[in-house]
Amino acid sequence: MCPNCSNYRSIVASHSLAGGSLLSLYSNTKLLLIFIQAQIIEMKKLIIVLLVFIVSGVAASAQDASALIKRVKAKLDKVNDYVAEGSMKTDVAFIKAPAGKIKVYYKRPNQFRIRRSKGISILPKGGISFNMSSLLSTESFTAIPTGESIINGTKVKLIKLLPNDENSDVVLTTLYVDEANLLIRKTNTTTRENGTFEMEMNYGKFADFGLPDKVIFAFNTKNYKIPKGVTMEFDTDEPAKQNMKNRKGKVEITYSSYTINKGVPDSEFK
Amino acid sequence: MWQLLQIELFKIFKRPRTYISFAAIAALVGIIQFGLKLDGNMYIEFMLRDLSASFSIEGNILNGYLVCYIILQLLLVHVPLLITLIAADLISGEANMGTLRLLLTKPVSRTEIILAKFLAASIYTIMLLMFMAILALFVSMAIFGTDDMLNLKSGYVVQLKSSDIFWRYVCAFGFAALAMLTVASLGFFLSIFAENSIGPIVATMSIIVVFTILSTLDIPIFNKIKPYLFTTQMIGWKGFFDVKVNAENEAIVGSIQNVGRVLQAAGILVLHIVGLLVASIVVFKKKDVLS
């Protein structure tokens, strides 16, 4: 039994003993109203206290998220530039491409270029040149923590990055941050121009620099069609058509070596 | 037989019309190469417009291998007409000039004469194709350079590694030789029935034009008869420029998407050649040359 309720009952009991029936009813109602008002004031206080707790909690979490991002960024900032070698596999429903060797060039803050060592390169527009350093190169975003998850057995924190610049191509980025190692394990980015894409990173010997050994880049593709009258093709394409259902494209880059902070000329990015 | 073949080759290469074909091919290939060199990027942009919407493509896209593919695609429809000019004239031309009777008085069998003439027509056809290959492939490689080749098909794109292309062209030209020999056999067969060259040349050209239109029209009612037309099989050379993919959708270097279908097309063309040649021998053996 709550203490307020027992107070109310004792007050009502004393008044009932003291007065007549009509007077008693009037005073009882008045007392009830006083009691309800007191209860409302109590509840308001409680709500205010709760709100203060929640707001301060969220602010503290947001601060934690920003601090975590800053720590990750500080790790990535150890790399001013790099030249990486590796191989690239393209898995798009309407493209039959062989795996090829590539060279990747990066220079702070956001210069990034993938070049196929030999032959023609077909790369998804915009998104593939997206890398963690360039994403975090600007301070103008708001970090919001949204929970925790597990990726390949590693506990990660989910942080949503909202760019403060209204004209930014990136609308929203979700980072899956491995707090223990200060590594970004996965990102999910929505852009205005190039749709939504997902990057999954696996780390190995270059984890100290925040550089992945393997990146899997997934993106949505548009339709591809040329009229048969133009191509005049021989009818051997039936088996290939069976693989055309999946409209999600994937590019897998496996890095074999990094040359870090040895300088990269600007001409490599032209 | 060897002497007969030499005589027939001499007859073919003595005529000015034989060189019309070589000149026409040189002119056509030159015009296409000139056009593509000047304004080829517009053509490539048009062909890649769907792909460029989602992807950025870097490299020497308009290279010698792709230019050769474009040339073959355009010319292999028309080269049969040039081959017909010679093949459909081999018997009818002799009949027209009155030399056929004289020829048959020689102590050689009619079968040998037919075989020698057909072999001569085949040599001419292969020489024409080799000439075309040199101009379309090697000259294009010299002008446009080399790189991977993007084969833009109606439903998908095939990227062929530059090191994986040359053998495909060797096979493609071999297949094209079969296709052109089929045309030569048809013209040769029809030439047995006529007393002048115009008839069999026009008849062969008409058959090729009608069959080609039926082969390219994508109308359901014609789709049923398409496999029976030799013109449908003639574009089988394109089959060499498609590759298989593995479970991860990665192109397998050195593979052909549908070898069976390409071999089937080649087999149908060989059957046409053999059938028309045998028919030519049978008909010619019974032909009355006294009329």
Amino acid at B39: D
pLDDT given for residue B274 in this prediction: 94
Domain containing A14: what range?
Answer: 3-73
Using left for φ > 0, alpha for ψ between -120 and 50, and beta otherwise, residue A261 falls in left
Contact A95 B159 (CB under 8 A): yes
- Provide the number of structural domains found in chain A: 2
Band the pLDDT of A131: cuts 50, 70, 90.
low
Q: How far is CA A75 from CA A71, A209, A215, A256, in A?
A: 6, 6, 18, 21
What is the arithmetic mean of pLDDT over B120-148?
Answer: 92
Which tens digit of pLDDT belongs to each residue from A64-107? 778 888 888 888 888 888 999 999 888 888 888 888 888 888 88
Residue B170: inside a domain: yes
CA distance A187 to A159: 10
Closest to B156 measured CA to CA, from A119, A127, A122, A251: A122
Strand blocks (E) in chain B: 55-58, 149-152, 157-160
In a domain, B40, yes or no: yes
Candidates B150, B216, B265; nearest CB to A120 = B150
- CA dist., res. B7 & res. B12, Å (int): 9
Whether residues A53 and A173 share a domain: the answer is: no
Residue B206 phi, psi dihedral angles, 5° rounding: -60, -45
Residue B180 burial (CB count, 10 A): 25
pLDDT band of residue A127 (cuts 50, 70, 90) is: low
Looking at A28, A58, A73, the residue that finishes a domain is: A73
Q: Look at the block and give the residue holding tokens 């997934």.
A: A218
Residues of A in contact with B251 (CB under 8 A): 96-98
Neighbours of A203 (CB within 10 A): 19
Do the chains contact at A119 and B251, CB–CB below 8 Å?
Answer: no
Least confident of A2-6, A146-150, B2-6, B186-190: A2-6
Instruction: List, in order, residues 6 or more apart from B144 with CB less than 8 Å away.
Output: B33, B36, B37, B60, B62, B63, B64, B66, B67
Contacts of A217 in chain B (CB under 8 A): none
Same domain? For A155 and A259 the reply is yes
Q: How far does A222 lie from chain B, in Å, by closest CA?
A: 7
Of A73, A103, A131, which closes a domain? A73
Residues of B in contact with A231 (CB under 8 A): 152-154
* Contact B16/A at CB under 8 A: no
Residue B197: how many other CB atoms lie within 10 Å: 23
Do A50 and A106 share a domain, yes or no? no
Phi, psi of B279 (to 5 degrees): -60, -40
| C-alpha span between B286 and B290 (Å, rounded) | 12
For the beta carbon of residue A141, count every other beta carbon within 10 angstroms: 20
Cβ-based contacts of B162 with chain A (< 8 Å): 118-119
Q: What is the pLDDT of residue B115?
A: 92
CB contact under 8 Å between A119 and B161, yes or no, is yes
A209: domain CATH number is: 2.50.20
**Segments forming the whole domain that contains residue B15:** 2-286
Residue A11 has pLDDT above 90, yes or no: no
pTM of the model: 0.78
Given a contact cutoff of 8 angstroms between Cβ atoms, the answer to whether B85 and B20 are in contact is yes
The dihedrals phi and psi of B20, each to the nearest 5 degrees, come to: -60, -45
Contact B57 A99 (CB under 8 A): no
For B21-62, how does the pLDDT look when each residue is reduced to its tens digit (9 = 90+)? Answer: 899 999 999 999 999 999 888 888 888 887 887 788 888 889
Q: How many CB atoms lie within 10 A of CB A11?
A: 15
Q: How far is A267 from chain B (nearest CA, A)?
A: 16
Please check whether residues A127 and A254 belong to one and the same domain: yes
Nearest to A122 by CA among B192, B143, B58: B58
Size of interface A-B (CB pairs under 8 A): 149
| B270 within domain boundaries | yes
Asked whether the beta carbons of residue A241 and residue B155 sit closer than 8 angstroms, the reply is: yes
pLDDT at residue A265 in the model: 82
> Is residue B155 situated within a structural domain?
yes
Can you say how many angstroms the Cα of residue A166 is from the centroid of all Cα atoms in its chain? 18
Q: Search chain B and give the residue with CA nearest A120.
A: B59
CB contact under 8 A, B148 and A120: yes
**pLDDT at residue B156 above 80?**
yes
Task: Annotate A229-249 with b (16+ C-beta within 10 A) or e (fewer).
Answer: eebbbbbbbeebeeeeeeeeb
Q: What is the spatial distance between Cα A197 and Cα A187, in angstroms, rounded to a whole number?
A: 8
**So what's the pLDDT on residue B179?**
93
* Best residue of B151, B152, B154 to probe chain A, by most A CBs closer than 10 Å: B154
Cβ contact A255:A212 at 8 Å: yes
User: Given pLDDT bands bounded at 50, 70 and 90, which one contains residue A235?
Assistant: low
End-to-end CA distance of chain B: give it in Å, rounded: 27
pLDDT of the residue at B182 = 94
**CA-based R_g, chain B, Å:** 21
The mean pLDDT value for B77-93 works out to 86
The answer to whether residues A62 and A90 belong to one domain is no
The residue among A19 and B154 whose pLDDT is bigger is B154
B250-262 tens-digit pLDDT:
889 889 988 999 9
pLDDT at A126: 65
Contacts of A249 in chain B (CB under 8 A): 54
A237 and A135 part of one domain: yes
* B291 lies in some domain: no
Give the pLDDT of residue A16: 47
- Name, in order, each residue with C-beta under 8 angstroms of A249's C-beta and a sequence gap of 6 or more: A90, A91, A92, A93, A124, A218, A219, A220, A221, B54
Reported confidence tier of residue A239, pLDDT bands at 50, 70, 90: very low
Q: Which of A119, A226, A234 sits opposite B238 (nearest CB)?
A: A234
Whether residue A233 and residue B54 make contact (CB cut-off 8 A), yes or no, is no
Count the domains in chain B: 1
Task: For residues B127-133, give the mean pLDDT.
Answer: 92
Percent with pLDDT over 90 in chain B: 41
Query: Shortest CB distance from A226 goes to which of B152, B218, B262?
Result: B152
* Residues of B in Cβ contact (< 8 Å) with A235: 261
Q: How confident is the prediction for chain B on average, in pLDDT?
A: 88
Chain B window 126-165: which residues touch A at a Cβ cutoff of 8 Å? 147-148, 150, 152-159, 161-162, 164
Q: Are A172 and A57 found together in one domain?
A: no
**Does A67 share its domain with A129?**
no
DSSP A128: G
A254/chain B closest Cα distance in angstroms: 15
B230-255 per-position pLDDT tens digit: 888 888 898 999 998 888 888 898 89
Cα(A6)–Cα(B93) distance, rounded to whole angstroms? Answer: 128
- The one-letter amino acid at A153: G
> Helix and strand tally (H, E) in chain A?
5, 12
Q: A164-173, B61-70, B270-279: lowest mean pLDDT where? A: A164-173
Q: φ, ψ for residue B289 (rounded to 5)? A: -95, 5
